[in-house]
Amino acid sequence: MNKLPINLPNIFENEHLYGYVSRLCLLNGILDSNSIQKGIMGCNKALAALPLFKESTHELAIFISDKFSLPLADVFTRHTLLGLFRHNIDPTVLRKVVAKDYSRKTVISLEQTEVYWGKAWRYCPCCVEEDKVQHGTAYWHVEHQLPTSLTCYKHVKTTLEYKCQKCGLVTTNLGCKPIPTAQCEKCGHTHESMSLHLNRDQKSIQESGFRLFNDTSNFDSSMQYYMLDVDSIVRSREDISESLELRYKELDDSFFDWLSESELTVYFGHDSSIGTVQSLRAHRMVRYSGRAKLLYVLLWQRYFYHLRQTAKQ
Ligand SMILES: [Zn+2]
Ligand SMILES: [Zn+2]
């Protein structure tokens, strides 16, 4: 890759690694960028963790690390969502992933977080305009892809956009939209930015996501955020049913009610479908403890915080 006569732009701070590749293809007039990107990035989903562990992505990260003198671990944690996902990956596995001699044998099983916009790349219309002025081009920001985020990390009242307001087109492949623009590539509609005032719970979840992503502690302490002892909480509660099975059911019911009241169902699209997200249920959080999805752990943590606050009153 080093020897190719290509125009190699600098990678922006906060630029997603895959966004960098798509911008590179655009700058160099590589027309078949769809298949190139598929080769490098696999399914090319912003929120999926698995493509990060493809060997081609790893080679790309090493290339970026050498070219721009960035530590390899930083390429992963600052330019991909591994910055967030690392909090539920075993530190010994994590160290292997960010090592130069990474081998495909390091198998990691991680699922995509089931958020409403889970397959879409998101952008902030205000950032698009500001980046054009400041850098001469818009680019895909990693922080806009955090599953915990509803609004922009810079423009806290601006909703992150993932689909065309007119035709509903969703960006799932950066080959079709190498840099974010407010104009729809299918119907030409120009997007207007929308504002959203986050309530206290939404704000708390969003800020937790930023905090985890920007956490600078070493990999060994990553797991601490993931400790959520749902089981002992269920067992210790005396105000609910005798049978453990019923306790879990009652806990789930009140948890889902609270999600609706706090408008945290926005992460899942609609209030009515929230009960169908099986992996959000308390017994699943216990069974998959340590592998549970980060957003779900944050939602449960916030719920327990809410219970403690109500108990005090
Ligand atoms: Zn913004
Ligand atoms: Zn459209």
Q: Characterize 2-24 residue by residue with b for buried, 16 or more Cβ atoms within 10 angstroms of its Cβ, and e for exposed.
A: eeeeeeebebbebbbbbbbbbbb
Measured CA to CA, the distance from residue 168 to residue 186 in angstroms comes to 10
Looking at the CA of 187, name the nearest ligand.
2
DSSP 8-state code for residue 190: B
Q: Are residues 53 and 193 in the same domain?
A: yes
Number of domains the chain is built from: 2
User: Chain centroid to CA 143: how far?
Assistant: 8
Q: Which two tokens stand for residue 139?
A: 């680019």
Structural domain contains residue 278? yes
Q: Are residues 123 and 79 in the same domain?
A: yes
Q: Are residues 56 and 163 in the same domain?
A: yes
Q: What is the pLDDT of residues 9-20, one digit of tens each?
A: 999 999 998 889
Q: Are residues 169 and 300 in the same domain?
A: no
Looking at the CA of 177, name the nearest ligand.
2
Q: Are residues 243 and 180 in the same domain?
A: no
Measured CA to CA, the distance from residue 17 to residue 302 in angstroms comes to 31
CA dist list (Å): 308 to 28, 177, 209, 305:
56, 46, 22, 5
Q: Are residues 158 and 234 in the same domain?
A: no
Q: What is the pLDDT of residues 84-136, one digit of tens each?
A: 888 877 777 778 777 777 666 555 545 556 677 777 889 999 999 999 999 99
Structural domain contains residue 204? no
Structural domain contains residue 222? no
Q: Are residues 239 and 190 in the same domain?
A: no
CB atoms within 10 A of CB 39: 10
Cα of 54 to ligand 1 centre, how many Å? 30
Q: What is the pLDDT of residues 157-210, one digit of tens each?
A: 999 998 999 999 988 878 788 899 999 989 999 988 899 999 999 999 999 999
Structural domain contains residue 218? no
Cα of 10 to ligand 2 centre, how many Å? 31
Q: Are residues 130 and 10 in the same domain?
A: yes
CB atoms within 10 A of CB 271: 14
Q: Which domain holds residue 141?
A: 1-197
Contact (CB, 8 A) for 9 and 31 = no
Q: Are residues 175 and 236 in the same domain?
A: no
Looking at the CA of 125, name the nearest ligand.
1
Q: Are residues 250 and 164 in the same domain?
A: no
Cα of 173 to ligand 1 centre, how many Å? 21
Is 226 buried (19+), middle (13-18) or exposed (0-12) by CB count in 10 A?
Answer: middle
Q: Are residues 94 and 233 in the same domain?
A: no
Looking at the CA of 171, name the nearest ligand.
2
